Amino acid sequence: MIDIAIEKKLKVYHGRQILKIDRQFANGSITKIYGPSGAGKTTFLKIIAGLISPEKGRIAVNNTTWLDTNININLSPQKRKTGFVFQDYALFPNMTVAEHLAYATDDKDWIKRLLILGKLDTLTNHKPAHLSGGQQQRLAILRALAIKPKMLLMDEPFSALDPDMKAELTIGLKVVFRELSATVLIVSHNPAELDGLVDGELYISDLSL
């Protein structure tokens, strides 16, 4: 069980607002996260990963405390070991497709399976600059999966994919998620695109201070 109760002040173009989440997520669940622009969806994922700290709150994963502002516990991103698919992909420009995955794991069979899943098995020697936007996005997903995370955070992971590729990839991803018993949170501006993949949802509203 993942137990999250956090508050974070946000700066937005029309003033200030607060991100306030109090929610539990079952292990192995797949949840879509949606809401208006600027409500804090990406910030929420980064707080879970340990990339941003909230003013107050607590995050506990299977009875292990990741964050507790009352007693000054705040595990580093490395200790949390979440998989993260960034909205801008955050790929390494000088690494090939194969090197991105090898950087995360030395399990060659797992790498081979991921490459086939993402249809990048014929592009292993290509660097990001020589990949299309959709190929870069798929590489970002595969890299996040390479560490076999128990918590996977995905920020607009399908925005650059055409409908056919998106449909095929999500079928394969659902199988992998179940095998890993991963708890998955997916931010999407188009929640309908996740139909058939997710089993829960979280709407984040824009709460003004």
Strands annotated E in the chain: 2-12, 15-25, 30-34, 56-61, 64-68, 73-74, 83-85, 151-155, 183-187, 200-203, 207-208
Strands annotated E in 38-178: 56-61, 64-68, 73-74, 83-85, 151-155
pTM beyond 0.85, yes or no: yes
Query: Computed from CA positions of residues 11, 77, 148, 125, in that sequence, does the dihedral angle turn out positive or negative?
Result: positive
Mean pLDDT across the chain: 95
What is the residue extent of each domain of the chain? Answer: 26-51+76-208
Fold of 26-51+76-208: Rossmann fold (3.40.50)
* pLDDT one-digit tens code per residue, 10-55: 987 667 789 999 999 999 999 999 999 889 999 999 999 999 999 9
Nearest of 59, 55, 41 to residue 3 by alpha carbon = 59
* pLDDT one-digit tens code per residue, 108-149: 999 999 999 999 999 999 999 999 999 999 999 999 999 999
Collapsed DSSP state (helix, strand, coil) of residue 118: coil
